[in-house]
Amino acid sequence: MHAALGDPLRLLMVDHLTYGDASPSELGAVTGLATNLLAFHLGTLQDARLIRRVRSEGDRRRSYVQLRWDDGAVAALVEAIAAIAHPRAADRVPRVVFVCTHNSARSQLAAATWTAVTDIPTTSAGTHPAEHVHPRAIDVAARHGLALWQPATRDVEDTLVPGDLLVAVCDNAHEELSAAPPAQPLTRPAGAVGRGWLHWAVPDPVRTDTDEAFETALADISHRVTRLAHALNPTGTRA
């Protein structure tokens, strides 16, 4: 792992993946690498088990690169790099808006988790809001002591205000926003590759519609939320 990170370009890729996932083309835009060289460097990081690729749930022709946070050695190493690369908290953002397609599960759980760990304001929205929050999202939140304080779903276009930090927690929303970016000027955080917002490729638990799928999605969201909240406001993080 240390050898793989000895190259400045690979270190740059890992830095950009610390707070959000990215497609190979987005990483190519960041590094300026030609396709063949980008594939070589990504292969080196993958061979070192620092990253993995996941297929988009939206456009199946796309894939996204994400760090292997489930590996304790990777997590410890990347956290150490982040502490050196970003020794001070970023400028405090006025609000974080979590977005998924229907605003019925992942974005709701992300906002509830965010409220539990930091005092930075938050809300959630959808690109195509459902009529109501999914019952299993309500149940998994209750099991973990999280309050889904937003009882209704909301449309992202009616929710965003200038300065928001947008976090797309599903592939469909990220790809739709990429095709038609929001009109509002957004906060651009470290790790926002290409479009100016963060993308978390969290699998949709509604597709499987089991308690286990919702527990897995919440676990994925929780560790991402905690890491981002600490980066933005370390003194105000409660967990």
Residue 85 pLDDT: 65
Q: What are the tens digits of pLDDT across the range 177-233?
A: 999 999 888 888 777 766 689 999 999 999 999 999 999 999 999 999 999 998 887
pLDDT at 27 over 90: yes
Structural domain boundaries in the chain: 4-85, 96-236
Q: What are the tens digits of pLDDT across the range 91-128?
A: 578 999 999 999 999 999 999 999 999 999 999 999 99
Distance between CA atoms of 136 and 210, rounded to whole angstroms?
8
Residue 9 pLDDT: 95
For domain 4-85, the question of CATH label 3.60.150.10 is answered with no
- For the 96-236 domain, the top CATH level (class) is alpha beta
Residue 151 pLDDT: 73
Between 151 and 1, whose confidence is greater? 1
Least confident interval from 48-52, 55-59, 86-90, 234-238: 86-90
119-151 burial, b at 16+ Cβ within 10 Å, e below that, comes to ebebbbbbbebeeebbebbbebbeeeebebebe
- Report the pLDDT averaged over residues 162-181: 95
Residue 76 pLDDT: 92
Residue 20 pLDDT: 94
Distance between CA atoms of 53 and 65, rounded to whole angstroms?
5
- Among the listed residues 119, 156, 161, 124, the one whose alpha carbon sits nearest the alpha carbon of residue 141: 124
Residue 63 pLDDT: 96
pLDDT at 89 over 70: no
The average confidence (pLDDT) of the chain is 91
